[in-house]
Structure formats: C-alpha cells, structure tokens
A and B are shown apart, each in its own frame.
Chain A
Amino acid sequence: MDVAAKLPEHRLSEELGSRSIETNGWRATVTTKPIVSASETDVLQKALGFPLPEMTFGNNSLRIAHAQSGWTYSFEASHALAGVKNGELGDGDGGVKVGYADAWLRSRTDPGSALPMPKTVPTKPYDWTYTTVYAGHTSLDSLEFVPADPSNPAHAIPLAELTRPDPILFYAEIPLFEDELHDNGSSHLVVRIRVMPGCIFILSRFTLRVDDVLFRTFDTRIYHSFASDPPLVVRESSGWEAPYDDVKRFLPRRNDLTPLTDANFIGTTLSSMPKSVSQGKGAGTGWRALGTTVEVATLEKTTPTKGM
C-alpha cells in the first residue's frame, strides 16, 4: 500500500467533548456530549412544538469547514428535528400508525366495549416516527447545491475509492437522536465521518423500524476529493422503504431477529431490493422522499469574492 507510506500532513486535536482534524485546507470538528438537560429540553420542545425523542443529543455536532472559501457544512439534532412534520400529516409525509392501532381503536369503540373511550381532547398531531430528510445544513446561503451531471464521473460518490483500505486519518460516529417509539420499533439518526488521505466522506443515516409495519431509511452521503479543482462537494440523498415482512425475509437465521435492530443490515437490505420496490412503491405510505438525488456544490477556488 503505497498510499499508506505517504500520509498527507494533518493535525489532530482534542478538548473536552470535542475532537478535530485539520488537513488539506479543511477542518472537521466533532462534538459529542450527553443528551439534553431538562431546561434544554423545554427550550427545544417549545421551538419544535412536539415532544423530543427520548435520547436527543442536542449538543452533538459535526462540522466541516473549508478555510479558503469560508464554506461550512454541519449536522445538528435541532436542525434535523426541525425537519420532522409538526401538525396533521398529509400526502407525501408518509405517516403511519402502530401495527395494532386498528385493533386498539375497535376494542374501545365497538358497541358494548368493556373499555369505552373516555372524553378525550384532540390529539396533538406530529410525526411520532421522527422521520426527517435532513441532509445537513450549510453556512453560506449564496452557495447552493445544483443537480449533478450524470455524465460527469466526478459528480458521483466513487465507491471503488471508498472501499480501498486506505488508512483512516480521522473517524467519528455522532448520534443525533434515538427513540424506541414506546417499544413499537425504533427511530434514530446517526452521522459518521471518515477523513482519508485523499478525501472526506460523511454518511448521515436515518433509520426507522415500526414493528410489523415497515422499515425506512434516509441516507445522505457527502464526498469531497482533496484533488478536485475547483473544490467540489458531492451530496447524494436516498430514501428507501419496505413493508416489515419483506425485510424480515432477508434474515440470515429466521429466529434471530437481532439484525432488524441493526441500521447497516436494514440499509443494505433495502438498497439491495429492486428499485421499483424499495424506492418505488415502498411500504405504500406515499412518502415523497423515496428515490435518489445527487447534487454538487463548487467552492470558491482561491479568493472569495462574493459577499458572505
């Protein structure tokens, strides 16, 4: 491995709850802290208008910054949760109910029910699955991602390069939120980064399991090659979904359901299904985020001229 022989210049630093790397004119900073406190919960809950996931890592973040252009790109829980639908769910929001919702309601509304419904006030509507298509956020509004050119090989995530076992200069896993949906499944958002000798690669992955109903994944991949000139950032976002039983069929051992709690297993299974299934009809929820989009952003080469 001759790549390993010539590691690029890089500087690692670490302070309380925060780690960073500087290399090739970039700086990546990772902050991992405990879940939010009661007072932070109140503030965030008020701003969002719905109850927070049980584990909300509101002080965690990932931020990459390009020194020359001043461009930064970040991942934070508060921004991700702002993408969760607050209010009545409509077409395209992909709303679901728990698997036994019908049975539960019937047992309370059937004539002669032993457990009649009490006087209830209207339900506070929000997406209790915390589904979000958050793909990170940028500091410079002036610099927008534009659709990639499918014929340009630089406008794609180079899987071959990323599979190569080059030395990893910097690795971090940053949980943003997690909730077990009251034992009806699980919903979580985790961001990972690795800085390699030749590139920065980020995967932000939202994973949802609603027991006996569906699996859903929303991935965002960010790739930047240090060799790109002018500096180019590729962003690929994909939404997948399939009915619960269709994913369950892929279990290596029928009785061991542990893989169904593994985001990697779910992600791999969903993406290996025919596109017409996991990115077409999905789980029949009409979720608008099914499919894949690739976009690119070109950073200022040397002198930032635009007003910031």
Chain B
Amino acid sequence: MAPFNLDACIEQLLRKQLLHETLLREICEKTKEVLMRESNVVHVSAPVTVVGDIHGQFYDLVEIFRIGGYAPHTNYLFLGDYVDRGLFSVETISLLTCLKLRYPDRVQLIRVARLIMLNDWKTYGFYTECIRKYGSPHVWTYFTDMFDFLTLTSYLGCTCSDHLNAGLSPSIHSIDQIKVVDRFREIPHEGPMADLVWSDPDPDKEDFAISPRGAGYTFGSGVVRKFLNINNMSHILRAHQLCMEGFSVLYDNHLSTVWSAPNYCYRCGNSASILEVGPGGGMHFNVFEAAPENERDGPNQQQTMQNGGNKLPEYFL
C-alpha cells in the first residue's frame, strides 16, 4: 500500500492546495505502475460519466463532481486535455491522478491529445505554471512522464450499445489493431496514434480525405458507419472540439462530441457538458455552466496580482 494517505491528498486538492513536490513524484510513480497494467483499449462498464476537455479549469472540474457525483460513487471516464490554457493545470492534474490511483477501476484517464513534441507543449501554460508554482520543472517532468503511460481509447460495453471514445485512423480498422499500438512513448506525428487522436469529422464527405494542413485525415459518415459495422458497435464518442452548447451529435447519432470546459479560456461564454451513460446504454448530456468560484479567483484577480494591485490601462500602439 502507498506510504501516504491518498484520501488526505484528495481532500487537500479539493481545497485547491498544492501537494508537496516529493509527494507528487511518488504519486506519479505509483500511478504509472497502475497504468502500465492497463491495455490500450480499456473496457469500461456502464453506468459511467464521460468527461471531455478540462484544460486546467480547476473550479469547473470540481463543479463536474458537484453535478455528476464524486468518485467512487460515480464512475468516470476522462477523455484527455487535462492541462494548459486554464489557470490551474497543476491542481487539476494532481487531483485527477490521485483519484485514478485511489480508485483505479472507477476512474479512467485516456491519452492526452495535446502532447506532441516537447517544444510544442512547453509553449502552452502547463510548463510555465509548474515553474511558477514549484520553482522548478520537476513536477512537470513527473506528470509528462506519466502521461506516456495513459491508455489510448476505451470502449464501453453494455447490453444494447457500445461506444468507442476516439477519432478514427485509416490504418486502423478494428479495435484489435488499437490494442497493439505501442503507446508507451510520446505521440509521433507519423503513426496511427496521431491519426487516431487528430482526425476530424467532415460532415460534407463520405470518406477519408487528407487534411488541408498536409498531415492527418478528415473522415465522413461512411467511414464511421464502416468502423462501427466491423466492430459491431453503435456509437463513437470524442472530445477536443469546442462547441457553444457543450456537446454535439453528428452522423445520425453515430458520432458525438463532449466538451467539459465551460467559458473556455475564461472568454468563450460556452456551456459545457458531461455525458452520463446509463446501465442500459442510454445517453444523457448533463449541461452545466462555469463554476461561480471563477469570478473571485480567475483571470481578473491573477492579472491584478501581477500588476501589483492595479489594473494598468493599455497604451497599445
């Protein structure tokens, strides 16, 4: 058993207090051991609540537990994008990691899409935030090492329907192929993993097309239908696409997107949702708005702190 009190850690984090650096190192190490035993494709049983992008919006994550129930009373499946952009990436990923370690069978964390090359993701907020809050990049290293062990996708088995949580890749036709992808390394641009994580739906087309960016694919309804048929499934669920309503449903209800960061980046004004999948496979998008705490501990206060208490007027040129 772990040489530390995980319940106390979780309570401390729920109060938005950081854990000590050495404690985090141990927690990440232990979590890696748990993750290493998981397959690329995790089988999750309903009922389960599916959560999309969070992006370091800590108060909104706590809001999710308030409306969706706390673990272990509610089973959770998190689809990635835990850090960056929001103000509290460290608190967010610390809490999720502790929950995973405490309730490994009731909390599933899927691969973070936003991790491509070292250089790229240093430019986003997480790295700088770790340095600011801990004075060194160690904590950043613990977490990013652990991210490499996250599972790729999951499918949800229930009596009347199955749901897969991922994008689609042309080189992967069946769930069994995902199982053999080597996930214990950073996401390479070239491999099927990148396609899995980055392919986009294009409702105007039937088939695969190369993305105009010059890498990756877009996929149409025909691709989705074929994949579902081959694998005897009824629905694909994905994240990573912002939408004002907090969720969207495409292709005759065969593909849906869940988005869980309300008022994204503290300026988009969007709703968010979590998807509650019932024991019979029924799907309900539970829609919510930004947590009230963002008003008293959000970007306005951070900016004021940095300017020594005064909000400076902008003499832009």
Chain A residues near B (Cβ < 8 Å): 33-38, 41, 51, 54-55, 97-98, 100-101, 103-105, 107, 114-126, 128, 159, 162-163, 165, 168, 171, 173, 175, 181-184, 192, 194, 203, 211-212, 255-258, 260-261, 264
Query: Which of these binds chain A: B72-80, B96-104, B151-159, B198-206?
Result: B198-206
- Main SS at interface, chain B: loop
In the complex, what distance in Å separates the CA atom of A287 from the CA atom of B152? 40
Q: How far is the CB of B247 from chain A (nearest CB, A)?
A: 10
Decide: A103 and B189 in contact? CB cutoff 8 A.
yes
Contacts A100-B189, A256-B128 given: A123-B315 contact, CB under 8 Å? Answer: no
Decide: B190 and A107 in contact? CB cutoff 8 A.
yes
Decide: A100 and B190 in contact? CB cutoff 8 A.
yes
Q: How far is the CB of B31 from chain A (nearest CB, A)?
A: 24
Q: How far is the CB of B306 from chain A (nearest CB, A)?
A: 13
Decide: B268 and A35 in contact? CB cutoff 8 A.
yes
Decide: B209 and A38 in contact? CB cutoff 8 A.
no
Query: Which of these binds chain A: B10-18, B214-222, B279-287?
Result: B214-222
Q: Which residues on the B side are within 8 Å of A260 (C-beta)?
A: 123
Decide: A121 and B214 in contact? CB cutoff 8 A.
no
Decide: B269 and A35 in contact? CB cutoff 8 A.
yes
User: Can you identify 17 A-B contacts, CB atoms within 8 angstroms?
Assistant: A35-B269, A36-B244, A38-B245, A54-B242, A97-B214, A98-B213, A98-B214, A101-B214, A103-B189, A121-B205, A128-B211, A168-B315, A183-B120, A192-B314, A257-B119, A257-B122, A258-B128
Q: Which residues on the A side are within 8 Å of B202 (C-beta)?
A: 51, 124
Contact bitstring B282-317, A, C-beta under 8 A = 1, else 0 = 000000000000000000000000000000011111
Identity of the chain A residue whose Cβ is nearest the Cβ of B120 in the assembled complex: A211
Known: A121-B208, A194-B315. 6 other contacts (CB 8 A): A33-B269, A35-B270, A37-B244, A119-B208, A123-B218, A256-B128
Q: How far is the CB of B35 from chain A (nearest CB, A)?
A: 23
B114 at the interface (CB under 8 A from A): yes
Within 8 A of A (CB), among B112-128: 113-114, 116-117, 119-120, 122-124, 128
Decide: A104 and B244 in contact? CB cutoff 8 A.
no
In the complex, what distance in Å separates the CA atom of A85 from the CA atom of B140? 40
Q: How far is the CB of B69 from chain A (nearest CB, A)?
A: 28
Q: Which residues on the A side are within 8 Å of B116 (C-beta)?
A: 183
Decide: A258 and B213 in contact? CB cutoff 8 A.
no
Q: How far is the CB of A88 from chain B (nearest CB, A)?
A: 10
Contacts A117-B170, A118-B170 given: A34-B269 contact, CB under 8 Å? Answer: yes
Count chain B CB atoms within 10 A of each CB in A97, A116, A119, A184 and give the residue with the most: A184
Contacts A103-B189, A182-B198, A258-B128 given: A34-B248 contact, CB under 8 Å? Answer: no
B162 at the interface (CB under 8 A from A): no
In the complex, what distance in Å separates the CA atom of A54 from the CA atom of B117? 22
Count chain B CB atoms within 10 A of each CB in A107, A115, A183 and give the residue with the most: A183
Count chain B CB atoms within 10 A of each CB in A38, A41, A104 and give the residue with the most: A104
B192 at the interface (CB under 8 A from A): yes
Q: Which residues on the B side are within 8 Å of A121 (C-beta)?
A: 205-209
Q: Which residues on the A side are within 8 Å of B206 (C-beta)?
A: 121
Q: How far is the CB of B128 from chain A (nearest CB, A)?
A: 5
Q: Which residues on the A side are within 8 Å of B241 (C-beta)?
A: 54
Q: How far is the CB of B5 from chain A (nearest CB, A)?
A: 36
Q: How far is the CB of A19 from chain B (nearest CB, A)?
A: 15
B232 at the interface (CB under 8 A from A): no
Q: Which residues on the A side are within 8 Å of B122 (C-beta)?
A: 255, 257
In the complex, what distance in Å separates the CA atom of A116 from the CA atom of B195? 13
Decide: A103 and B190 in contact? CB cutoff 8 A.
yes
Q: How far is the CB of A53 from chain B (nearest CB, A)?
A: 10
Decide: B208 and A120 in contact? CB cutoff 8 A.
yes
- Point out the residue from A34, A116, A256 that lies within 8 Å of B244, measured CB to CB: A34
Q: Which residues on the B side are within 8 Å of A126 (C-beta)?
A: 212
In the complex, what distance in Å separates the CA atom of A163 from the CA atom of B314? 11
Q: Which residues on the A side are within 8 Å of B212 (C-beta)?
A: 123-126, 128
Identity of the chain B residue whose Cβ is nearest the Cβ of A258 in the assembled complex: B128
Contacts A121-B206, A123-B211, A261-B123 given: A35-B242 contact, CB under 8 Å? Answer: yes
Decide: B213 and A97 in contact? CB cutoff 8 A.
yes
Please give me the 10 A-B residue pairs with the lowest Cβ-Cβ distance, nearest first: A34-B269, A101-B214, A97-B214, A118-B170, A104-B215, A107-B190, A257-B123, A100-B189, A115-B171, A37-B244
- Point out the residue from A123, A165, A183, A203 that lies within 8 Å of B316, measured CB to CB: A203
Decide: B215 and A100 in contact? CB cutoff 8 A.
yes
